[in-house]
Chain A
Amino acid sequence: MEDGNIEKQIKASLAADDSSALDLIWNEYASDLLGYLVTIHRSRHEAEDTLQEVFVTIATKRAYVAVARNLKAYLFRLARNTALNRIKREGRRREKLHQAGDWLEVEAPNAGGEDRSALLATALARLPEKQRTVVVMKFFRDKPLSEIGDMLRISGNTAASRLRYGMEKLKHLLTEESP
């Protein structure tokens, strides 16, 4: 089903006070939202807790969600605000405890067969958040730049330049940290 149709269906369910809207939102956006949240928190557990908070907010503020002009961008903005509030509330101390590579999974082992996810996660954690988000969405979620731009409400060109700078910095960091 196309994005626009799903959005309409979700908004109609929300407007009709039908809680099946939550399932629709989950099926359509939960993976991307979790992927986005782990790039902000750099921790699987933190991201999962924030995702729960996001869904609770959707449920309680459903009247506002139902009239959002661009539902996808609205949900990503909501996720980002919730994550940043959580970080502010709980402090950086707790966040640092979770900066392990628990949010990256090996899909296809590289030629050497070694798992470098911890090294990669550490290098990614040192990227600025905006660049990290684009790199993660592009390579780990296979999203085209136009869709990333749509999610983050930035132009495709901005997404492309963030990707380029992020990749340059990541290359530098990985070279620096490689044994």
Chain B
Amino acid sequence: MNKAEHDTGVMEECLRGYRVVKPTPELKERVLGAAREAWNVTPPANDIPWTWPILRLAACLVAAAIPVFLAHTADSSSGAGSGVMERESAAVRETADLWAMTGRSQFASLHRRAAAMRQPDAADLLARHLRALSAELTDHRANGG
């Protein structure tokens, strides 16, 4: 037996020489007296309200729905992200084409991959919407609107 085990054994032995206080008969009388008094003034028809099981069920359903909802939200947001990433912007295509035209096709594919891995930020999305809007307006004007 090493020293640490011996010390622990000695301490456990020492601890066993003590006890926490126990309830005295006076305490029993006092506590049960107060409890009986409370019992008598509380109406016997103090049944659980009918809403109690429904509330418990509702709480369980909410608790179960939260992780499902969070998982769904996380899944759809990551799905939306990948969908956007799949779309290659015109700027990326142009740059890649330039690399290809100058005979450096390895740089073109590298540029496409880097663009695909980059998460589009809000500014990119806004710019895309503005371009689409501008194209719509141009078409509208060209059609004599």
Enumerate chain A interface residues (CB-CB to B < 8 A).
17, 19, 22-23, 26, 30-31, 34-35, 38-39, 44, 47-48, 51-52, 55-56, 58-64, 67, 102-110, 116-117, 120, 135-136, 139-141, 167, 170-171, 174
Kindly state whether residue B12 has any CB partner on chain A within 8 Å.
yes
Is the pair A38, B20 in contact by a Cβ cutoff of 8 Å?
Answer: yes
B 12-37 contacts with A by CB, 8 A: 12-23, 27-28, 30-32, 34-36
Residue from the list A44, A56, A107 in contact with B38, Cβ < 8 A: A56
Interface stretch of the complex, out of B42-50, B62-70, B90-98, B109-117: B42-50
- Residue from B11, B19, B34 with most neighbouring chain A CB atoms (10 Å): B19
B15 — which chain A residues lie within 8 A by C-beta?
120, 135, 139-140
Is the pair B31, A105 in contact by a Cβ cutoff of 8 Å?
Answer: no
Is the pair A48, B48 in contact by a Cβ cutoff of 8 Å?
Answer: no
Is the pair B17, A55 in contact by a Cβ cutoff of 8 Å?
Answer: no
Is the pair A22, B36 in contact by a Cβ cutoff of 8 Å?
Answer: yes
Kindly state whether residue B121 has any CB partner on chain A within 8 Å.
no
Is the pair A52, B18 in contact by a Cβ cutoff of 8 Å?
Answer: no
Is the pair A60, B42 in contact by a Cβ cutoff of 8 Å?
Answer: yes
Residue from the list A44, A47, A51, A106 in contact with B18, Cβ < 8 A: A106
Kindly state whether residue B8 has any CB partner on chain A within 8 Å.
yes
Kindly state whether residue B86 has any CB partner on chain A within 8 Å.
no
List of 10 A-B pairs having minimum Cβ-Cβ separation, nearest first:
A55-B35, A59-B39, A139-B15, A59-B38, A59-B35, A35-B20, A140-B20, A56-B38, A108-B17, A52-B31
Instruction: List, sorted by A's number, 15 A–B pairs whose CB atoms are closer than 8 Å.
Output: A19-B36, A34-B22, A51-B23, A55-B35, A59-B42, A104-B19, A104-B21, A105-B18, A105-B19, A106-B19, A109-B17, A110-B17, A140-B15, A140-B18, A171-B11
Is the pair B12, A52 in contact by a Cβ cutoff of 8 Å?
Answer: no
